[in-house]
């Protein structure tokens, strides 16, 4: 069952103060509609009862899947550090895997990756190689054309595990805004499985991919 905490909000539009619950922990199997709010953003919205203005409050949240046995904790470095202590018994005795998300966007990515059956570590490896190939002009034409659009719209349906809202191209490669291809993911997972199988997935990101591959080259 969801864990909540009451908080006082002040509306910037009309100045009204009101109380509302913020969600601290949800289980997708017990709190389905609420947990889905971690993806669509509704869980962070609080509506002023006076003027109906929405207030966005991005508090740290624990997202749990008690069937697939994973926990995603969002928050700053201190929150993530405490999460390892807080959920050590879940990991040790119940077989949970713990993932950290420094931003709410990272949490959305992790949720979609895990729900689609992907390993977040190899999603990061996949993104790194897509970026490397893009910067070295070695992408296949369909993908290159996709990335060269002025606006990139990423559909959250189908097999996409990595999602972002529509964004504007600014000439800088955005590793997160890439089309996700299951076959390419499986290729990189197979090729680099031995190299990455023992790394800590908790806050694993693109910098870790680069560092590990550089260490191998050295």
Which residues does residue 46 pair with via DSSP β-bridges, in sequence order?
55
Question: Would the pLDDT of 214 be above 80?
Answer: no
pLDDT over 90 percentage in the chain: 40
What is each CA distance from 42 to 115, 128, 198, in whole angstroms?
Answer: 19, 31, 36
- Tokens representing 185? 């993911």
Q: Is 11 helix (H, G, I), strand (E, B) or coil?
A: coil
The CA distance from 158 to 37, in Å, is 19
**Span 99-156, pLDDT tens digits:** 999 888 788 888 888 887 888 888 888 777 766 655 555 544 344 444 333 223 333 3
Across 183-207, average pLDDT: 84
Asked if 75 and 60 count as a contact pair (C-beta separation under 8 A), the reply is yes
């Amino acid at each position: 069952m969801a864990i909540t905490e009451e908080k006082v909000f002040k509306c910037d539009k009309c100045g009204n103060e009101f109380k509302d619950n913020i969600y601290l922990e949800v289980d997708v199997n017990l709190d389905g509609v609420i947990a889905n709010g971690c993806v669509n953003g509704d869980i962070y919205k609080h509506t002023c009862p006076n003027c109906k203005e929405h207030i966005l409050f991005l508090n740290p949240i624990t997202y749990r899947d008690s069937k697939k046995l994973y926990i995603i904790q969002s928050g700053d470095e201190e929150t993530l550090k405490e999460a390892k202590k807080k959920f050590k018994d879940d990991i040790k005795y119940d077989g949970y895997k713990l993932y950290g998300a420094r931003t709410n966007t990272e949490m959305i990515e992790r949720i979609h990756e895990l729900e689609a059956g992907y390993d977040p570590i190899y999603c990061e490896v996949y993104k790194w190689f897509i970026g490397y190939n893009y910067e070295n002009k070695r992408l296949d034409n369909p993908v290159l054309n996709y990335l060269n659009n002025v606006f990139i719209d990423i559909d959250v349906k189908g097999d996409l595990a990595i999602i972002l809202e529509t964004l504007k191209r600014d000439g800088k490669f955005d590793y997160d805004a890439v089309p996700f291809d299951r076959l390419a993911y499986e290729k990189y997972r197979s090729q680099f499985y031995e190299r990455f199988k023992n790394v800590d997935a908790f806050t694993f990101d693109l910098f870790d991919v680069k560092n590990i591959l550089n260490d191998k080259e050295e």
